[in-house]
Amino acid sequence: MDEIFGIPAPLLFGQLLLGLINGAFYAMLSLGLAVIFGLLNIINFTHGAQFMMGAFVAWMLLAWAGVGYWGALILAPLIVGATGVVIERLMISRLYKLDHLYGLLLTFGIGLIVEGVFRNYFGSSGLPYRIPDALQGAWDLGFMFLPIYRGWVVVFSLVICLATWLVIEKTRLGAYLRAATENAPLVQAFGVNVPRMITLTYGAGVALAALAGVLAAPIYSVNPQMGTNLIIIVFAVVVIGGMGSILGSVLTGFGLGVVEGMTKVFWPEASSTVIFVIMAIVLLTRPAGLFGRA
Amino acid sequence: MVPTRRQLLASGAAAATIAPLSRARAQANTVKIGVLTDMSGTYRDNTGPTSVACTKEAVVEFGASHGFAVEVLDADHQNKPDVGANIARQWYDQGVDLILDVPTSSVGLAVNQIAKEKNKAYINSGSATADLTGPQCGPTTIHWTYDTYMLAKSTGGAMVRAGGDTWYFITADYAFGHALERDTAAFVRAAGGRILGGVRTPFPGTSDFSSFLLQAQAARPKVIGLANAGGDTANCVKQAAEFGTTRGGIKLAALLLFLNDIHGIGLQTAKGLICTETFYWTRDDKTRAWTQRIAARTPNNYPNMIHAGCYSATLHFLKTVADMGVAAAKASGVDLVNRMKARPSEDDLFGRCDIRADGRRLMPSYLLEVKSPQESTGPWDYYKLLQTTPANEAFRPLSEGGCPLVRG
Q: How many CA atoms lie within 13 A of B325 on its CB side?
A: 3
The single-letter DSSP state of residue A130 is P
Considering the domain boundaries, does residue A293 fall inside one?
no
Q: Are B304 and B286 in contact (CB under 8 A)?
A: no
pLDDT level of residue A157 (50, 70, 90 thresholds): very high
Length of chain B counted residue by residue: 408
pLDDT value, residue A1: 46
User: Are residues A125 and B234 in contact, defined by beta-carbon separation less than 8 angstroms?
Assistant: yes
Tally of domains in chain A: 1
Of A23-32, A63-72, A145-154, B352-361, which one has max mean pLDDT? B352-361
Q: For residue A291, tell me if it sits in a domain.
A: no
Mean pLDDT throughout A227-256? 86
Structure-model confidence comparison of residues A123 and B296, the more confident one = B296
What confidence tens digit (pLDDT) does each residue in B284-308 have? 999 999 999 999 999 889 999 999 9
Say if A290 falls within a structural domain.
no
CATH of the domain at A193: 1.10.3470
Contacts of A125 in chain B (CB under 8 A): 44-46, 230-231, 234, 260-261, 263-264, 301
Across chain A, mean pLDDT equals 87
The structural domains of chain B, ordered by start, are 28-146+283-363 (3.40.50.2300), 149-277+365-394 (3.40.50.2300)
A79 Cβ contact partners less than 8 Å away, ≥ 6 residues apart: A57, A210
pLDDT of residue A75: 96
- Give the lowest-confidence range in A177-186, B188-197, B381-390: A177-186
CB B85 within 8 A of CB B118: no
**Comparing C-alpha atoms, which of A54, A36, A34, A103 is closest to residue A209?**
A54
Chain B nearest CA to A139, separation (Å) = 10
Q: What is the pLDDT of residue B25?
A: 53
Percent of chain B with pLDDT strictly greater than 90: 72
Enumerate the residues of chain B whose CB falls inside 8 A of the CB of residue A265: 211, 215
pLDDT of B10 over the 60 cut:
no
pLDDT at B242: 83
Contacts of B238 in chain A (CB under 8 A): 219-221
Question: Residues B252-281: what's their mean pLDDT?
Answer: 91
CB–CB contacts below 8 A, A to B: 115
Domain that holds residue A107: 3-285
Interface test with A, best of B45, B170, B208 (most A CBs within 10 A): B208
Examine the pLDDT at B275 and tell me if it is beyond 60: yes
Q: Is residue A187 part of a domain?
A: yes
**What are the C-alpha distances in Å from A156 to residues A15, A67, A212?**
20, 20, 10
pLDDT at B296: 94
B247 part of contact set with chain A, CB < 8 Å:
yes
Contacts of B201 (CB under 8 A, 6+ apart): A268, A271, B170, B171, B172, B173, B209, B212, B228, B232
pLDDT of residue A137: 80
The answer to the question of residue A294 being in a domain is no
Looking at the domain assignment, is residue A193 inside a domain? yes
| CB atoms inside a 10 Å sphere around CB A271 | 25
